Chain A
Amino acid sequence: MILLVADHNNGKPSKMALELVQAARDLGREGPITALVLGQNLTAVANELSQYVEQVLVADLPQLANYNPEIWAAAVTQIAQEGEAHTILVGASRSGREYSARVAVKLDAPLLEDVIKVQDQGGALQGTKYAYLARVTEVYESSAPVTVVSVKPGAYNPASPAGSAGEQYDVELELPTSRTRSTGKVIEKTTRVPLTEADIVITGGRGVGSPENFSSLIEGLADNLGAGVGATRAVVDAGWRPYGEQVGQTGKTVAPKAYIAIGVSGAVQHLSGMGKSKYIVAVNKDPEAPIFKNADYGIVGDLHQVIPALIEATRK
Chain B
Amino acid sequence: MNILCVIRQVPDGEAKLRINNSKVDLEGVTVIMDGMDEYGVEQALRLRESGASVEQIIVLAVGPARNEDAIRTALAMGADRAIHVETSEYLDPIALSKIVAQVAQEENVSLIFTGGQQSDWDSQALGASTAERLSWPQVTWTNALELSGETLKGKHDIDEGAETFEVDLPAIITTQQGLNDPRYPTLPNIMKAKKKELRKDTLDRYGVQAKIRHVSSNIQVKERAGKLIDGKDPQAAAAQLLELLRNEAKVIS
Residues of A within 8 A of B (CB): 67, 69-70, 73, 93-95, 97-102, 104-106, 109-114, 126, 129-144, 178-188, 199-200, 225, 233, 237, 242-244, 249-250, 257-258, 267-269, 272, 275-276, 278-281, 283, 285, 287, 292-302, 305-306, 308-310, 312-314
- The answer on a CB contact under 8 Å between A97 and B125 is yes
- The answer on a CB contact under 8 Å between B129 and A225 is no
CB contacts (< 8 Å) of B193 on chain A: these are none
- Nearest 8 A-B pairs (CB), nearest first? A301-B231, A110-B211, A101-B125, A101-B128, A309-B238, A309-B234, A105-B132, A102-B132
Partner of A187, one of B92, B160, B234: B160
Q: Whole-angstrom distance from the CB of A110 to the nearest CB of chain B?
A: 4
- The answer on a CB contact under 8 Å between A297 and B244 is yes
Q: Whole-angstrom distance from the CB of B143 to the nearest CB of chain A?
A: 9
Listed stretches B53-61, B72-80, B133-141; interface member: B133-141
Partner of B158, one of A94, A133, A269, A292: A94
- The answer on a CB contact under 8 Å between B220 and A297 is no
CB contacts (< 8 Å) of A111 on chain B: these are 92-94, 125, 129, 211-212
**Does B162 interact with chain A (Cβ within 8 Å)?**
yes
- The answer on a CB contact under 8 Å between B129 and A105 is yes
Q: Whole-angstrom distance from the CB of A152 to the nearest CB of chain B?
A: 10
Q: Whole-angstrom distance from the CB of A63 to the nearest CB of chain B?
A: 15
CB contacts (< 8 Å) of A292 on chain B: these are 226, 228
Q: If the complex has contacts A97-B125, A180-B139, A313-B238, are A137 and B161 also in contact, measured as CB distance less than 8 A?
A: no
Query: Complex formed: what's the CA distance from A141 to B214 in Å?
Result: 6
CB contacts (< 8 Å) of B214 on chain A: these are 138-140
Query: Complex formed: what's the CA distance from A310 to B252 in Å?
Result: 13
Partner of A136, one of B94, B220, B239, B245: B220
- The answer on a CB contact under 8 Å between A300 and B125 is no
Query: Complex formed: what's the CA distance from A272 to B119 in Å?
Result: 10
CB contacts (< 8 Å) of A131 on chain B: these are 24, 120-122, 217
Query: Complex formed: what's the CA distance from A296 to B229 in Å?
Result: 11
Query: Complex formed: what's the CA distance from A300 to B133 in Å?
Result: 52
Q: If the complex has contacts A111-B211, A141-B212, are A67 and B159 also in contact, measured as CB distance less than 8 A?
A: yes
12 residue pairs of the A-B complex, CB under 8 angstroms, read A99-B128, A111-B92, A111-B211, A140-B212, A180-B137, A182-B163, A184-B163, A188-B162, A258-B251, A276-B222, A297-B241, A309-B238
